[in-house]
Chain A
């Protein structure tokens, strides 16, 4: 019975997504064919045809892999740096006093503004892109992790203390697990930022990637290519977020019933 309802619910969700995308492409088609009627705004069918060509030539896959690899590397690096810093800021007042000015300062300097610096420092190779993604990830993860530590209920900590917990035990067995949902939420937000940053970085300084595809298409006025890149970005972002949500459910669903 429950299996059945879970299945139908999942089916309904997927059906909803499919219907939503179909509607989106339908409106796009109608707008392009009947409203705008310009070569600068192709309808979906030629764009898909072009996508098929790019896939057959293995071009689209290469750009996607290039962009996604950078995103993942920078994102993981940023998270690995950000989580301990966030935990320290949330746990120790001295660390907070020392580091909060940093986070409050740098988070207002967007990664996009750092592209020139990154290129000067690291060249147009992989390092500059990974640096930028890590940069954009770190502050979001730090801030949400620190907020998570601060939001651990006072009674949870007190309960542990009067069960005999040491400071280290309070941290490892109460504060840390209570913060996991905040960390994951921060990482999810950071992933969205990473997409913004990678496209901007590849537009300006790269030999491949979806941003480069966009840039070349603009140079050679291949309007369909532009739209292929845009649709690919949207779908990749969507899929990445789904995967992230599934991971959150699988690893941390029990940490928080509302995830």
Chain B
């Protein structure tokens, strides 16, 4: 059975400017342990899909199941890494941010600290735990967010363009780290991006979205390349071209 199932999910926003159908008839099964990249142009509805899986928003049509039960609200079984880093708590240190979910569950101070240190190490920030978010770089903040989500041991990790605001070099480094962490933990991941190379580098499957209104899943392509992936290899290039051909129409198609 799939870990997460989206069945004919649609979302229509109603506001001052009338109704806007952001997502239409979106169906997808996410298997336990896979790294699924959802790829699409800006405004096609990627964040809307993620927000519904996270439980921040309710679908207008269709339904979303986690382990067979409908998603109704946000919960600790779905960890989210946000696009910006406004989600970190400025008044807590890095280590306290990572241990925040454990604190909510009433875990004792010392256990919490030990576990948080473990994840701090996993995201490569040993020795930086006492710093506050204002003393960390953008890349470090995203690492903290990832560690915070992982420390809570969710069933699935939902990531909304987590590296979108970083420079190209930092982004490549973090992609490598994330790939390594995923290989270590085999956590199920739903990862949103509009960067084809990022998707091909990370994913076991790439879903390409059709642009809105009524954004929906256009095609799903498996990426059967071994990790760590060599970005200059022929096989990587071939996968890149395949995805690129699909998304090309979305970027340049008449509208």
Contact = CB atoms under 8 A, between A and B. Distances in A.
B91 A177 contact: yes
Interface string A39-80: 000000000000000000000000000000000000000000
B105 A164 contact: yes
Nearest to B151: A163
Interface in B135-150: 135, 148-149
Contact of A158 (B87, B90, B148, B152): B87
B211 interface: no
Contacts of A180: 91
Contacts of B54: 158, 162
B86 A158 contact: no
Interface in B172-202: none
A15 B17 CA distance: 58
Contacts of B56: 158, 161
A164 B104 contact: yes
A24 to B, nearest CB: 35
A164 B75 CA distance: 5
Given A169-B104, A257-B132, A162 B86 contact: no
Given A180-B91, A255-B91, A163 B86 contact: no
Interface string B89-106: 111000000001101110
A159 B82 CA distance: 8
Contacts of B73: 161
A173 interface: yes
Contacts, number: 74
B87 A159 contact: yes
A178 B82 CA distance: 18
A174 B90 contact: no
A174 B152 contact: no
A122 to B, nearest CB: 40
Contacts of B55: 161-162
B74 A158 contact: yes
B94 to A, nearest CB: 12
Interface in A238-259: 254-257
Interface residues of A, number: 21
The bracket for how many chain B residues form the interface is 20 to 34
Query: Of B84, B91, B134, B154, which is in contact with the most chain A CB atoms at under 10 Å from its CB?
Result: B91
A153 B89 contact: no
A156 B82 CA distance: 10
Contact of A254 (B75, B101, B132, B148): B132
A155 B47 CA distance: 13
Nearest to A258: B134
A165 B105 CA distance: 8
A158 B78 CA distance: 12
B76 interface: yes
Contact of A162 (B76, B89, B132, B134): B76
Nearest 8 CB-CB pairings of A with B: A164-B76, A163-B101, A257-B134, A155-B87, A161-B74, A159-B87, A162-B74, A153-B86
Contacts of B59: none
A248 B6 CA distance: 49
A31 B148 CA distance: 63
A155 B134 contact: no
B10 interface: no
B75 A162 contact: yes
Interface string A148-170: 00000101101111111100010
A163 B79 CA distance: 7
Contacts of B149: 163
A156 B86 CA distance: 7
Given A162-B74, A163-B149, A163-B152, 8 more contacts: A153-B87, A156-B87, A158-B80, A159-B148, A163-B101, A165-B104, A178-B90, A254-B132
B86 A164 contact: no
A27 B55 CA distance: 65
8 contacts: A155-B82, A159-B82, A161-B55, A161-B75, A173-B100, A180-B91, A257-B90, A257-B134
Given A158-B87, A159-B80, A173 B134 contact: no
